[in-house]
DNA sequence: TAGATTGTTAATCGATTAACAATC
DNA sequence: TAGATTGTTAATCGATTAACAATC
């Protein structure tokens, strides 16, 4: 199979999102209509899908339920993934309570902290453990993904601990470019950068 | 000036982030070293900067403090922007308490909600008001940016209200493609899509 | 001066869009 | 059948990378 751009994967995810949102109202949809909802080019939508197979009927379009099913499978959302949340600050607590994650099969199984006041308690019925115990607990809970929501100063060191415990998939909310070997996939969510992007255009409006 | 790619703006923001993180330790830095920290090509860094002028010294590199100053100015971070937060759920509360925003000059001035239990109170010393009053309050507080963190079902209607009140810059956390006239700039933060991207590669590992 | 590094143009690469035969 | 829409190849477009003269 040809190498698939990471942007394609992100778009597939947005197609799925849009399909969820219309699934109550529509049974079938054409690439043209779906692309319009998403504000993109229908050719791109079809091209993205074509990397993975044929999902529509010529002259008709796509069955919404079928395409949802196919996309979930392509994206690995037909499985359950176990997640470790690192950092139980404001953002960590919000992420922990966020329904969107569990609905998609991402389950937060354990929380890591270094604040003695938080360690040993539970949050949302999830154990809050000391950073020190990461290694063993990653195995115990069969964690595949780590979510980083700690202060900037702690992030790099913690990321290395996580890497050494065997984790290779990280969702990073810390405004810092984390340095790990290239076999580790890191997706960065830089919220301030998004605002900054708005700021740039605001200043030139 | 040549049209500047939006990706360039996002990268400039990441350069600034990296410079903040090293500003305590280094006085000068070359494009080569800075690019290495960021995991990108130094040519790209120089190219991105070249859209806006000359910021380094040949044979030497860039003064960290100077480049920070220049980037802040380019990105409009030398100004204060007033923000309205819509939705005081888990995510809304986290965003409201997030230091990263205010540090960069993004000040949340008012919060909008439709839950009668929340309306009329204060959160972090910020007024929580009814959606109904958006129009007038946007003017009163001189708001430039709206942050959307409401349930999916309310987002489109609310976005239209915001648009009609004159806002043209939106940071959207709702997993929905919001449809507004093209003179409105919307940056989407789809947190689930980021996890989904990890899921895709996990499933194929 | 010699070495280093910028700013910028040119070359390459990849992604998006257009076009259209296949087919429902 | 005629109209619609897919799947896919080819053309275009833009972004990234390479290269190098300018210059500190």
Question: Looking at the domain assignment, is residue B199 inside a domain?
Answer: no
Measure, in angstroms, how far nucleotide C10 C1' is from residue B157 CA: 49
First to last CA, chain B: 44
CB-CB neighbors (< 8 A) of B79 in chain A? 199, 203
Residues A90 and A149 both lie in one domain: yes
* Sites in chain A below the pLDDT cut of 70: 1-2
Question: Looking at the domain assignment, is residue A189 inside a domain?
Answer: yes
CB contact A63 to B (< 8 Å)? no
Residues A91 and A189 both lie in one domain: yes
Question: Looking at the domain assignment, is residue A201 inside a domain?
Answer: no
Residues B40 and B64 both lie in one domain: yes
User: Mind listing the pLDDT tens digit for each residue in A125-137?
Assistant: 999 999 999 989 9
Residues B66 and B142 both lie in one domain: no
CB contact B77 to A (< 8 Å)? yes
Please say which residue of B49, B74, B99 terminates a domain.
B74
User: Which residue range is the domain that position B52 belongs to?
Assistant: 6-74
CB contact A172 to B (< 8 Å)? no
Spatial distance between the Cα atoms of B47 and B54, rounded to a whole number of angstroms? 10
Question: From the alpha carbon of A60, which nucleotide's C1' atom is closest?
Answer: D5
CB-CB neighbors (< 8 A) of B187 in chain A? 194-195, 197-198
Mean pLDDT of B98-116: 97
Question: Looking at the domain assignment, is residue B174 inside a domain?
Answer: yes
A127 DSSP β-pair partners: A122
Question: Looking at the domain assignment, is residue B124 inside a domain?
Answer: yes
A94-123 burial, b if ≥16 CB within 10 A, otherwise e?
Answer: bbbbbebbeebbbebbbbbbbeeebbeeeb
Residues B185 and B122 both lie in one domain: yes
pTM of the model: 0.96
Q: Which helix (H) or strand (E) holds B63?
A: strand B62-63
Residues B169 and B135 both lie in one domain: yes
Residues A62 and A10 both lie in one domain: yes
Question: Looking at the domain assignment, is residue B45 inside a domain?
Answer: yes
Token representation of residue B54: 């000359």
Residues B126 and B169 both lie in one domain: yes
pLDDT of A200 reads: 98
Nearest Cα of chain B lies from the Cα of A111 at a distance, in angstroms, of: 17
Token representation of residue B22: 């090293």
Question: Looking at the domain assignment, is residue B156 inside a domain?
Answer: yes
Q: Could you tell me how far CA B106 lies from the centroid of its own chain?
A: 9
Nearest Cα of chain A lies from the Cα of B158 at a distance, in angstroms, of: 16
CA dihedral A111, A116, A121, A124 (to 10 degrees): -40
pLDDT bracket for residue B117 (50, 70, 90): very high
Question: Looking at the domain assignment, is residue A165 inside a domain?
Answer: yes
Q: Residue A16 maps to which CATH number?
A: 1.10.10.10
Please say which residue of A59, A74, A89 terminates a domain.
A74
Q: Residue B115 maps to which CATH number?
A: 3.40.50.720
Residues B125 and B185 both lie in one domain: yes
CB-CB neighbors (< 8 A) of B162 in chain A? none
Please name the member of A9, A76, A199 whose beta carbon is closest to the beta carbon of B77. A199
Mean pLDDT, chain B, rounded, equals: 96
Domains: count for chain A: 2
Closest among B184, B183, B181, B182 to B172, alpha carbons compared: B184
Residues A158 and A189 both lie in one domain: yes
pLDDT bracket for residue B1 (50, 70, 90): low
Spatial distance between the Cα atoms of B14 and A197, rounded to a whole number of angstroms? 11
pLDDT bracket for residue B3 (50, 70, 90): confident
3-state SS class at B2: coil
Q: Give B142-175 as a DSSP string.
A: T--EEEE-S-HHHHHHHHHHHHHTT--EEEE-SS
Residues A142 and A92 both lie in one domain: yes
Closest among A167, A202, A102 to B144, alpha carbons compared: A202
Inter-chain residue contact A169 with B202, CB threshold 8 Å: yes
Spatial distance between the Cα atoms of A205 and A203, rounded to a whole number of angstroms? 6
Residues A55 and A149 both lie in one domain: no
Please say which residue of A47, A74, A101 terminates a domain.
A74
Q: Residue B131 pLDDT > 70, yes or no?
A: yes
């Amino acid at each position: 199979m040809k190498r698939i751009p990471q942007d394609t994967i992100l778009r597939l995810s947005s197609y799925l999102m849009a399909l969820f949102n219309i699934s109550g109202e529509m049974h079938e949809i054409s690439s043209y209509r779906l692309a319009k909802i998403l504000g993109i080019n229908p050719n791109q939508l079809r091209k993205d899908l074509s990397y993975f197979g044929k999902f529509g009927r010529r002259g008709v379009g796509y069955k919404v339920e079928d395409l949802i099913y196919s996309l979930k499978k392509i994206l690995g959302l037909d499985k359950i993934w176990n997640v470790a949340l690192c950092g139980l600050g404001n953002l960590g607590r919000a992420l922990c309570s966020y329904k969107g994650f569990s609905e998609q099969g991402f389950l937060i199984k354990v929380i890591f902290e270094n604040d003695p006041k938080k360690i040993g308690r539970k949050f949302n019925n999830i154990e809050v453990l000391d950073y020190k115990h990461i290694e063993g607990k990653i195995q115990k809970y069969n964690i595949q993904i780590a979510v980083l929501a700690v202060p900037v100063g702690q992030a790099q060191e913690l990321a290395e601990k996580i890497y050494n415990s065997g984790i290779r998939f990280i969702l990073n909310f810390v405004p810092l470019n984390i340095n790990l070997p290239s076999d580790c996939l890191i997706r960065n969510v830089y919220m301030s950068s998004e605002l900054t992007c708005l700021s740039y255009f605001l200043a030139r409006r």
